[in-house]
């Protein structure tokens, strides 16, 4: 008797089942996953509750057999954790574990452990953004009546909080010029100074801070913390803590994440006591990272070494091209011998990262023509992703919405300065793109 197409006889079904069961790919002792209600929970069984409760309350318990560990840490989306007893609440707070994701999350801890290992610190914490890391650190370690010494220029968000927000809490500040000898910091220390803040390489002009000397200065002072934003280098190229710096900061949005698909920040500490002080502020202020972003960040860090090598080799070639171009007045890249702090960069950086500052002839107009006429490089803020980005600080990140022209120029952010984040494309393609965009700057604009 012929069967219609798609119809399988009972005998044929049994044959298929026996093939699956006998296959080496499956164990005869495996059973379908069951919820805890199906197995019974302290005498409560699935038949004791309605489907409404089954839908909300069924949980899968661990399968039998030897325990295994996921090669990639899972994303723990759960906001809260099931306790075995009331006493476990205080026990976890005292001994460690998870109660509520604002207080701790396995996915976040996984990336903290990796960052701390890269940094060589005593503990790391991850934050929802780079500015969350910076602002939490400033609020944690400074109080009304304190004084901070900061390099100028600096990241625009840092400048904003130092100039416009900290004074509302009675916290004073003094700026020193980026790239200055560390002794300049010492000259501005007052009896109420509690923090020395530096960036290296500096945003956006690529000035370099001598980390060894900065660390020595901090250790020579009582009750003064040193914090360094090393975002432009990454911990792969420039570990900070080993120089005696108290706190290393990174915007993980940039090189650590590396793919322009997350916003995050991190702090790494030179002592466990600093870490413990900070985690109280982080959990209370609610500036922790989401576990989903933590997973993306962890994935990005896995390729950090090979990306930083490519970013750096590309940037070296592009910087050398720009330095010879007649429409470029000056190039600031730590890998160029012409950089004022080139020798310091060689001492403390493995290689020189992917960030370039270039002064374009023609001032604001010359800089704008360049950034608006690139075709492969993208006009966008941020940095550190696999794609090359360019921006014009005088009209964008450090523009009139944040700084007066006088303040901007005093920090060395000139009218024609452009900031370029070199990606991992073919460097010859990037050079061709910049070359054609520079060609569009008219001679009468250059003057």
Query: Please, are residues 75 and 106 in contact by the beta-carbon 8 Å criterion?
Result: no
Distance CA(202)–CA(209), nearest Å, equals 8
Q: Say what the pLDDT of residue 62 is.
A: 76
* Reported pTM: 0.91
Side-by-side strand order, sheet with 417-421: 328-332, 355-360, 417-421, 389-391, 378-379
Are 384 and 259 in contact by the 8 Å Cβ rule? The answer is: no
Rounded Cα gap, residues 255 and 237, in angstroms: 11
Is residue 327 helix, strand or coil? coil
- In the prediction, which pLDDT does 24 show? 54
> Tokens representing 323?
């330095």
d(CA 141, CA 227): 11
Q: Which of 254, 310, 361, 408 is catalytic?
A: 254
Consecutive 10-residue averages of pLDDT for the chain (447 residues) = 50 52 59 86 92 91 83 95 96 95 96 97 98 98 98 95 98 97 98 98 97 98 98 98 98 98 98 98 97 98 98 98 98 98 98 98 98 98 98 94 87 94 98 98 93
Catalytic pick among 36, 88, 98, 102: 102
pLDDT at position 66, please?
87
Q: What pLDDT score does 181 carry?
A: 97
The C-alpha angle with vertex 193 and arms to 187 and 195, in degrees rounded to 5, equals 100
Q: What is the pLDDT of residue 26?
A: 57
| Secondary structure (3-state) at 149 | strand
Of the candidates 377, 240, 384, 248, the one whose C-alpha atom is nearest the C-alpha of residue 307 is 384
Neighbours of 21 (CB within 10 A): 11
Cis preceding linkage at 29, omega within 30: no
Q: Which of 76, 155, 197, 255 is catalytic?
A: 155
On whether the CB atoms of residues 332 and 232 are closer than 8 A, the answer is no
Helix axes 291-302, 304-324, angle to 10 degrees: 70
Task: Give me the pLDDT at residue 172, please.
Answer: 98
Q: Which two tokens stand for residue 206?
A: 């690529």
Q: Which of these is catalytic: 146, 229, 293, 433?
A: 229
Q: Give residue 18's pLDDT.
A: 52
> 147-152 and 172-177: which strand pairing?
parallel
Q: Considering the chain, what percentage of its residues have pLDDT values greater than 90?
A: 85
229 is catalytic: yes
Cα(177)–Cα(207) distance, rounded to whole angstroms?
9
Task: List the beta bridge partners of residue 250.
Answer: 266
Answer positive or negative: Cα dihedral of 171, 131, 126, 254: negative
427 in Cβ contact with 314 (< 8 Å): yes
Is 102 considered catalytic here?
A: yes
pLDDT value of position 410: 86
Query: Given the DSSP bridges, would you call strands 417-421 and 389-391 parallel, antiparallel or unpaired?
Result: antiparallel
Query: Quick one: tokens of 16?
Result: 């298929």
- Identify the pLDDT of residue 301: 97
Determine if the peptide bond prior to 360 is cis (ω within 30°).
Answer: no
Backbone angles phi, psi at 80, to 5 degrees: -140, 165
Q: Could you tell me how many residues make up the chain?
A: 447
Structure tokens at 74: 């899972």
- Total Cβ atoms within 10 A of residue 297: 27
Q: Are 329 and 446 in contact (CB under 8 A)?
A: no
Q: Check residue 387 and give its pLDDT.
A: 98
DSSP secondary structure letters along 260-323: S----EEEEESSHHHHHHHHHHHHHHT-BPPHHHHHHHHHHHHTHHHHHHHHHHHHHHHHHHHH
Does the annotation count 186 as an active-site position?
no
* CA-angle at 392, arms to 426 and 255, nearest 5°: 50
Q: Write down the pLDDT at residue 76.
A: 96
254 is catalytic: yes
């Amino acid at each position: 008797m012929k069967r219609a197409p798609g119809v399988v006889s009972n005998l044929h079904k049994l044959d298929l089942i026996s093939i699956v069961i006998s296959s080496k790919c499956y164990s005869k002792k495996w059973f379908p996953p069951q919820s805890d209600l199906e197995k019974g929970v302290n005498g409560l069984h699935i038949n004791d509750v309605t489907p409404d409760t089954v839908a909300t309350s069924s949980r899968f318990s661990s399968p039998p057999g030897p325990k295994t560990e996921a090669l990639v840490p899972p994303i723990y989306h759960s906001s809260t954790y099931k306790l075995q007893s009331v006493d476990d609440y205080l026990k976890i707070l005292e001994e460690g574990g998870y109660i509520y994701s604002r207080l701790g999350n396995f996915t976040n801890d996984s990336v903290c452990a990796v960052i701390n290992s890269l940094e060589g610190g005593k503990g790391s914490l991850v934050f929802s953004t780079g500015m969350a890391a910076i602002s939490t650190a400033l609020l944690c370690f400074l109080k009304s009546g304190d004084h901070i010494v900061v390099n100028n220029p600096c990241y625009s968000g840092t400048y904003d909080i130092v100039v416009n927000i900290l004074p509302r809490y009675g916290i004073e500040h003094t700026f020193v010029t980026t790239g200055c000898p560390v002794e300049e910091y010492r000259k501005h220390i007052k009896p109420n100074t509690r923090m020395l803040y530096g960036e290296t390489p500096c945003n956006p002009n690529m000035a370099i801070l001598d980390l060894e000397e900065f660390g020595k200065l901090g250790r020579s002072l009582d009750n003064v913390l040193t914090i360094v934003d090393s975002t432009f280098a990454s911990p792969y190229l420039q570990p900070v803590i080993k120089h005696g710096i108290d706190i290393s900061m990174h915007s993980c949005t940039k090189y650590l994440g590396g793919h322009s698909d997350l916003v995050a920040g991190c702090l790494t500490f030179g002592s466990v006591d600093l870490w413990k002080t900070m985690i109280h502020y982080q959990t209370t202020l609610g500036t922790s990272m989401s576990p989903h972003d933590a997973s993306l960040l962890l994935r990005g860090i896995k390729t950090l070494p090979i990306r930083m090598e490519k970013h750096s080799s590309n940037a070296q070639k592009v910087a050398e091209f720009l330095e010879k171009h007649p429409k470029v007045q000056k190039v600031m890249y730590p890998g160029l011998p012409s950089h004022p702090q080139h020798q310091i960069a060689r001492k403390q950086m493995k290689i020189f990262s992917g960030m370039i500052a270039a002064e374009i002839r023609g001032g604001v107009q010359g800089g704008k023509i360049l950034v608006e006429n690139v075709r492969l490089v993208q006009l966008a803020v941020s940095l550190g992703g696999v794609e090359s980005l360019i921006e014009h600080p005088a009209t964008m990140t450090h523009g009139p919405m944040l700084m007066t022209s006088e303040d901007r120029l005093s920090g060395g952010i000139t009218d024609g300065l452009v900031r370029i984040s070199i990606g991992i494309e073919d460097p010859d393609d990037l050079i061709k793109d910049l070359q054609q965009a520079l060609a569009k700057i008219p001679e009468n604009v250059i003057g």
